[in-house]
Chain A
Amino acid sequence: MTGLRAHVVRPDRGVDVTIEVAPGECVALIGPNGAGKSSVLEAVAGLLRHAGRVEISGVDVTTAPPHRRRVGLVAQRADLFPHLSVARNVAYGPRAAGVAGREARERAATALAAVEVADLAHRAPATLSGGQAQRVAVARALATDPAVLLLDEPTSALDVDARVSVRSALATAVVGRPALLVTHDPLEVVALAARVVVVDGGHVVESGPTAEVLGRPQTPFAAAFSGLVLTSGTADADGIALDGGGGLASSDRTVPPGRAAHAVYHPTAASVRRDGAGVPRRVLSVEPRDGLVRIRAGELVADVTVAVAARLGVRPGDEVRLEVPPEEVTVFPTAPTSPID
């Protein structure tokens, strides 16, 4: 028996995604906008009909309407019912399930306490901050004791402080029940998900344990998601011989020489010089990036300080040499099943 098994097909959007979530497991679904992540969530929730097969707790719910699927949905916006108090919002699910008023109120109180907003019970939704409202939305989903929890970018509309509290509420919520998390936030993935599935162009392009996907990404999206530069080549005695010419030495390599491999490094670890040792590449662009200057040269990227960038004075078209310390480079085998496009 699985927690969730879904095969979502939308021929009009070119979406064909199969996803499985074990009981009690939280799986993060990441990918560029328009990749089909929302289609998967909507299909599981029953809000998108005729879009493949969905099985929840071993029961085929493909033809069941949303109200019979026992899914808990927390979206980007809290979407609390504005005409009901916080307590009544959270009691809405139990009441809809036919639970008597007193019992429903108790369940609401329990759910509110679980995400540490019990003191908000009598407030009106309009008086809540974004983070408070989102935690109430989490409590509202929990109060129905859902068989699957669907989290659709649950913190992306919040400011940084609110994200922290909502993330901790979500960490409580995902314990013991299957959850599917769509997000653009790497921190959220690390905090909540045990496994990551990368969707791009309507298909699963990579999946695996969180540390594996984020630390040794096979796809450009997964690499960019965790802030790494991904490059490919062939393993050699020192590290990797890059497809684009030159090579990077690595002190973290497990690939027998001669095999196709990927290498990742963090762009701030790379240094750029006009000449001397290093991988020769032609500069494609120079752009500001979080207080640094991002230099793209060939398929490689280096983030350097403004002072260094000014001293180098590089412009697109210039020839430069990039170097990355071996201890910053990880070389790992290319997964045979998920090649880079």
Chain B
Amino acid sequence: MTRDPVGTPWWLPVPALLGGLFVVVPVLAMVGRVDWTSFVALVTSRSSLTALGLSLGTAAAATGIAFVLGFPLAVLFARARSRWVGVARAVVLLPLVLPPVVGGLALLAAFGRIGPVGAFLADHGLRIAFTTAAVVIAQVFVAMPFLVSSIEGALRVGDDRLERVAATLGARPSRVLLTVTVPRALPGIGSGLVLCFARALGEFGATLTFAGSLEGVTRTLPLEVYLQREVDPDTAVALALVLVVVALVVIGPSSIRGARSGRVAAP
């Protein structure tokens, strides 16, 4: 009758429950702090809506760019057998473990006015640092590793037998990639996009370092929350709740589906 024939130790739910509470209690406490009478006015103020729009727009753009650049990386990582690819993977996944503020500094060093890329672009009349483009770059930098590792994980499940069959059936490598590899990676692409978007939406440290906090240009919702915390805690809490809701909307469906099928969205 039981779905878990091995059995679970009786004490396991105790730390598990504590772990759950550890996440739920702070969020609920914050919800308790929300001043509901002024909530609507606070979150629909001009600066709030600007920050929310900027956040959603940049996170969506960053997710798109991360997919275009990250999917090929994931395919190469999943297929290559070379030791150097292991090194390359470690470097590409570095932002996962790097403090975002360090990432911001690195981006500034490359794309800033005196950086190699920044100087080149400046010569052609393009300034990156402290623009909306910088926000997107910072988000791609920190969020792409989630996408890459998620897709690579999906491709590594099972070997390349389907691709080999497709090749013997006369499909060129590009066709094999689009008609066999992409469908095979779809679960990983789905969860990778979700994680990537959520991480981009929450980006703070690299954005602040590399893009600054200019209202309407680089001040995303997390930056707005941090700023308002100093001057107007009620607004900060209200906007924080908005972020929680957006995050739940983004990650909820795929997480529920993952639990049903016995798989988890996270890499």
Contacts and interface: CB of A to CB of B under 8 A. Distances in A.
Interface of A: 45-47, 65-73, 75, 77, 79, 81, 83, 92-93, 96-97, 140-141, 144, 150
Interface centre among A72, A77, A79 (most CB of B within 10 A): A79
A47 B165 CA distance: 10
Given A47-B164, A79-B162, A81-B162, A140 B169 contact: yes
A75 B173 CA distance: 20
Question: 10 tightest CB-CB pairs across the interface, nearest first?
Answer: A93-B169, A66-B167, A96-B171, A83-B183, A73-B168, A96-B170, A79-B165, A97-B170, A67-B167, A67-B170
Contacts of B161: 75, 77, 79
Interface in B156-196: 161-162, 164-173, 175-176, 179-180, 183-184, 186
A69 B161 CA distance: 18
Interface in B104-161: 161
A81 B167 contact: no
A73 B170 contact: no
B170 A65 contact: no
A226 to B, nearest CB: 31
Contacts of A69: 168
Given A79-B165, A93-B169, A96-B170, 11 more contacts: A45-B168, A46-B167, A46-B168, A65-B173, A66-B164, A67-B172, A73-B164, A73-B165, A81-B179, A96-B166, A97-B170
Contacts of B164: 45, 47, 66, 73
Contacts of B173: 65, 67
Contacts of B175: 96
Contacts of A66: 164, 167-168
B141 to A, nearest CB: 33
Interface residues of B, number: 19
A93 B173 CA distance: 14
A77 B159 CA distance: 13
State the main secondary structure of chain B at its contact with A.
helix
A101 to B, nearest CB: 14
A47 to B, nearest CB: 6
Given A79-B162, A83-B183, A144 B170 contact: yes
Contacts of A79: 161-162, 165
Nearest to B161: A79
A92 B171 contact: yes
A4 B55 CA distance: 62
Contacts of A144: 169-170
Contact of A96 (B162, B169, B183, B186): B169
Contact of B167 (A47, A72, A75, A83): A47
Contact of B170 (A70, A75, A77, A81): A70
A150 to B, nearest CB: 8
Nearest to B172: A67
B31 to A, nearest CB: 42
Contacts of A77: 161
A175 to B, nearest CB: 20
Contact of A71 (B166, B168, B176): B168
Nearest to A137: B165
Most central of A75, A83, A140 by chain B CB within 10 Å: A83
Nearest to B168: A73
Nearest to A83: B183
Contact of A92 (B179, B184, B186): B179
A163 B140 CA distance: 53
A309 to B, nearest CB: 42
Contacts of B183: 81, 83
29 contacts: A47-B164, A65-B167, A65-B173, A66-B164, A67-B167, A67-B172, A67-B173, A67-B176, A69-B168, A71-B168, A72-B169, A73-B164, A75-B161, A79-B162, A81-B166, A81-B180, A81-B183, A83-B184, A92-B166, A92-B169, A93-B169, A93-B170, A96-B170, A96-B171, A96-B172, A97-B170, A141-B168, A141-B169, A144-B169
Contacts of A97: 170
Contacts of A72: 168-169
B181 to A, nearest CB: 11
A92 B167 CA distance: 11
B171 to A, nearest CB: 4
A68 B167 CA distance: 9
A68 to B, nearest CB: 8
A67 B165 CA distance: 10
A43 B173 CA distance: 18
Give the residue among B165, B173, B186 with the most A Cβ atoms within 10 A: B165
A66 to B, nearest CB: 4
A321 B66 CA distance: 78
Q: Identify the interface centre among B161, B164, B168: most chain A CB within 10 Å of its CB.
A: B168
B161 to A, nearest CB: 5
